[in-house]
Amino acid sequence: MPTGLDAETLDMILSAIDDFAAKRLPAALLRELDHKDECPEDILRDMYGPQFGIHLLFIPEEYGGMGGGAFDVYRVSEALARVDLGVSSAVLATFLGLDPIVVGGTPEQKKKWMSRVAEEGLLVAYGVTEPTAGSDLAASRTRADPVEEDGKVVGYRLNGNKQFITNGSIADLYTILAVAPGGFTFFILEKGAEGFSADKPEDKHGIRISDTAPLTLEDVFVPVENVVGGVEGQGMVQATEVFGYTRLMVAAFGLGAGVQAIERAINYAKERVQAGAPLIDKQAFTHKLLVPHAVRLEASRAYIEETARRIDDGESPLNTEGAIAKLVASEAGNAAADAAIQALGGYGYMKEYEVEKIRRDVRITTIYEGTSEIMEWTIARDRWRDNLQQRGQFYLQVVPGVDALHARAPDVGADVAALAIRALHVLIERARLGRLTRNQHILFRLGEWITLAETAACFCRYAADDGPKVSGFAPQVIKAMSRVYAREAASSIVEQGLRWIYGAEDGSADVRGLEADMNVSAIHTAQRGLLADCDTIAQALKEMSFD
């Protein structure tokens, strides 16, 4: 049985977000709060209040929540991101902060804390990062020393510092990662504990509406019943177990912000006349500043949706797929927001037109919940392992499914996606035989090429299904988009792959053999029709209307 809400309830929540945003977070107020670098704590608390209760989405029904699934979380996260990424980040922090309890808490802890968060609308913070430990959590230094009474551990004293904690100075409840004698362990901490303080919130580049603060822990006593899971040493497992889910949420943030930026650019381009015609009618404008971004965002949507549905169908933890979704969508969102500023020219550079704020806000999505580089590493490491387990055949085993898709739906670009996957296979094997991944950069680049190839194949599957799409694009437009994306993926894999594999090899390697094995000429020939597909997509963008 898939988990999650029925379509009607999800639609109800999505329209409640729109209504709340229109009433409580109008554009002028968001601009003002951004300018003043102010977190609207009262508005956040109202979002968690009885009228709205956004946090209930993440809490299972048995504890008084709504029990939303991964697909619901994706749709709600995208909708929140379209309003404001600072507000979205505050909601994400509650979700993240609860996660250690959701995945690792004892039955009593789950009941107590999740019921309290549901009923009281508590703001939660997730305290993991430290001044000297970000990507490398194993370097964390916050200590948890046992406190014994009559030979029995009754609690722990926490000492250390946490950095960049969302909701840090306003949360009611914190989950804090610290090193106990038995290893990394999460502790549940309520605000006001003696020795626990939040310092001045940071003055940030973007998501200025969110509260981000350092935390100081000086001999803070935490009772033993607040050790998540009841035993020491489970912290790292609890922190990583839900990455499939939480990274999907940040992926949806990148998607929502990117879509919002491109829609603004499209609206503007319809009105703005230069050299006698609206910008939207100028091919060099649309094919550089709008079409590639609309395509990459829709490809990200396809990947997020497929991963979300797989999680809801019981596949877990899908951490590799969560990383691919985050990498592809957050990079697409950033590129789209950047292009949107360019599309608006001088006006894009002005605060009033809002794409400038979206550009600053969306920047965070390639940093928190694991940077893009850490995503590349995670993806490459996992697929490298999968490939070794399959004796170097992992991607060759994927190809027949993509070929079969091409036979069933010849107009979605699956033949080109198959070329991309074969070329990827050749690169991975060449890197393996030449021991090239001893160069860290080659391993990370593989992560990028894997993301391109897997997203291209996924986009073809999405395009082959003619059912309605969240974005509202017609089936023939989605198909043109998936063809464009497959061409881009295949082309990038060969160009970048050859560049870096040759760049890492010594002079004795066979050059022509590699290019023939990757079928470079077929990938070049497959670019035929690219411009016509971009024309189709540009026409579709022109015909769409956005608020």
Ligand X SMILES: Cc1cc2nc3c(=O)[nH]c(=O)nc-3n(C[C@H](O)[C@H](O)[C@H](O)COP(=O)(O)OP(=O)(O)OC[C@H]3O[C@@H](n4cnc5c(N)ncnc54)[C@H](O)[C@@H]3O)c2cc1C
Q: Which residue has the tokens 């017609």?
A: 474
d(CA 17, CA 4): 18
Residues numbered 183-242 forming contacts with ligand X, rule: CB under 6 A: 204, 207, 212
In this complex, which beta carbon is closest to ligand X, that of residue 503 or of residue 529? 503
126 near ligand X (CB under 6 A): yes
165 near ligand X (CB under 6 A): yes
Stretch that binds ligand X, among 61-69, 221-229, 361-369, 461-469 (CB under 6 A): 361-369
Residues 501-530, one symbol each (x = binds ligand X by CB under 6 A, - = not), give ------------------------------
95 near ligand X (CB under 6 A): no
Instruction: Give me the amino acid identity at 336.
Output: A
Stretch that binds ligand X, among 54-62, 66-74, 163-171, 457-465 (CB under 6 A): 163-171
In this complex, which beta carbon is closest to ligand X, that of residue 212 or of residue 234? 212
With CB under 6 A as the rule, give the number of residues binding ligand X.
Answer: 19
Evaluate the CA torsion angle 281, 283, 288, 294 in order and state its sign: positive
What minimum distance in Å lies between the beta carbon of 464 and ligand X? 35
d(CA 271, CA 277): 9
Exposed/middle/buried for residue 347 (C-beta within 10 Å: 0-12, 13-18, 19+):
middle
In this complex, which beta carbon is closest to ligand X, that of residue 252 or of residue 262? 252
Stretch that binds ligand X, among 249-257, 360-368, 430-438, 506-514 (CB under 6 A): 360-368
What minimum distance in Å lies between the beta carbon of 468 and ligand X? 35
Stretch that binds ligand X, among 31-39, 45-53, 158-166, 387-395 (CB under 6 A): 158-166
What DSSP string describes 19-71?
A: HHHHHHS-HHHHHHHHHHT---HHHHHHHTSTTT-GGGGGS-GGGTS----HH
327 near ligand X (CB under 6 A): no
Residues 286-315, one symbol each (x = binds ligand X by CB under 6 A, - = not), give ------------------------------
134 near ligand X (CB under 6 A): yes
Contact indicator for 503, 252 with CB cutoff of 8 Å: no
534 near ligand X (CB under 6 A): no
Q: Could you tell me where the DSSP H helices lie in 84-143?
A: 85-104, 107-109, 115-120
Nearest to 85 by CA among 208, 247, 207: 207
Task: Give the residue, chosen from 63, 71, 243, 368, that forms a contact with ligand X under the rule CB under 6 A.
Answer: 368
C-beta neighbour count of 501 within 10 angstroms: 21
Task: Give the residue, chosen from 367, 396, 474, 530, that forms a contact with ligand X under the rule CB under 6 A.
Answer: 367
439 near ligand X (CB under 6 A): no
Exactly one of 241, 331, 356, 369 is catalytic; which is it? 369
246 near ligand X (CB under 6 A): no
What DSSP string describes 346-364?
A: HHHTSGGGSHHHHHHHHGG
Contact indicator for 326, 254 with CB cutoff of 8 Å: yes
| Residue 511, both tokens | 């050059």
What minimum distance in Å lies between the beta carbon of 83 and ligand X? 17
Q: What is the dihedral of CA 499, 503, 506, 507, to 10 degrees?
A: 50
| Residue 518, both tokens | 């990757």
Kindly provide the b/e burial profile for residues 294-303, where b requires at least 16 CB atoms within 10 angstroms of the residue's own CB. Answer: bbbbbbbbbb
Task: Give the residue, chosen from 13, 17, 90, 93, that forms a contact with ligand X under the rule CB under 6 A.
Answer: 93
- According to DSSP, the residues that pair with 166 across neighbouring strands are 212
Q: What is the dihedral of CA 466, 470, 476, 477, to 10 degrees?
A: -160
Contact indicator for 485, 296 with CB cutoff of 8 Å: yes
What minimum distance in Å lies between the beta carbon of 204 and ligand X? 6
In this complex, which beta carbon is closest to ligand X, that of residue 171 or of residue 453? 171
164 near ligand X (CB under 6 A): yes
94 near ligand X (CB under 6 A): no
Nearest to 63 by CA among 113, 24, 19, 20: 113
Stretch that binds ligand X, among 123-131, 254-262, 395-403, 501-509 (CB under 6 A): 123-131
Stretch that binds ligand X, among 32-40, 160-168, 181-189, 522-530 (CB under 6 A): 160-168
What minimum distance in Å lies between the beta carbon of 371 and ligand X? 3
What minimum distance in Å lies between the beta carbon of 427 and ligand X? 20
| Residue 526, both tokens | 């497959």
Whether residue 317 has a cis bond before it, omega within 30° of 0: yes
Task: Give the residue, chosen from 77, 109, 140, 166, that forms a contact with ligand X under the rule CB under 6 A.
Answer: 166
What minimum distance in Å lies between the beta carbon of 380 and ligand X? 11
371 near ligand X (CB under 6 A): yes
Task: Give the residue, chosen from 15, 135, 283, 476, that forms a contact with ligand X under the rule CB under 6 A.
Answer: 135
C-beta neighbour count of 529 within 10 angstroms: 13
373 near ligand X (CB under 6 A): yes
d(CA 541, CA 188): 49
What minimum distance in Å lies between the beta carbon of 173 and ligand X? 13
Examine the residue annotation and report whether 369 is marked as an active-site residue of this protein.
yes
Contact indicator for 134, 369 with CB cutoff of 8 Å: no
Instruction: Give me the amino acid identity at 408.
Output: R
Stretch that binds ligand X, among 227-235, 295-303, 340-348, 363-371 (CB under 6 A): 363-371
Minimal CB distance residue for ligand X:
134
What minimum distance in Å lies between the beta carbon of 238 and ligand X? 13
Active site residue ranges: 369
Binding residues for ligand X, rule: CB under 6 A, are: 93, 126-129, 134-135, 164-166, 204, 207, 212, 364, 367-368, 371, 373-374
